[in-house]
Amino acid sequence: MAVREIRIYPDPILKEVCAEVEADDHEVDALIQDLVDTMIDAGHSVGVAAPQIGVCKRVVVVDVSNSKLGRENNHGLLTMVNPEIIRREGNKTMREGCMSVPDYTGNVDRAESIVVQFNDRDGNRQVINASDFEAVAIQHELDHLDGLLFLDRVSSLKTDIFRRKK
């Protein structure tokens, strides 16, 4: 469909809690395709959430299969509608970046493994176990649906935020 412009913090839509997608929402397939196209076009992205392209709906796409951190352990392209984490285990601190916060990265504590349920692009209910980098990427994207950025999850703004090298 289309590569969409990424909204940059402090765009107010990035702080909104997104609405669930209704079963009869016929625009969701086009939204998913725009998210996939935008993620691929970025070249380095492993996920995009709908509010990052200006749509406040509970839809994300995640694909860590082309990342060196996720290459060995992934589910391929995940198209997630109304996703919900139903179990979290362990703890992992990783450096995260975000297309909506392009100048900074930060150390964020996340669950090491998760179980997430969602509807896929075809409307089928899915439940998957994700771990390591894929679990972190999913948690990061799902935060966007609740108006949270990785900046909201760092322990210390003084010690855990880093300016990106240009």
12/103 Cα distance (integer angstroms): 18
Token pair of 80, please?
Answer: 């997630």
Task: Please pick, among 5, 89, 134, 141, the residue that the annotation labels catalytic.
Answer: 141
The answer to whether 141 is a known catalytic residue is yes
Q: Are strands 125-131 and 47-49 parallel, antiparallel or unpaired?
A: unpaired
Residue whose token pair is 């839809």: 59
**Catalytic positions, please?**
141
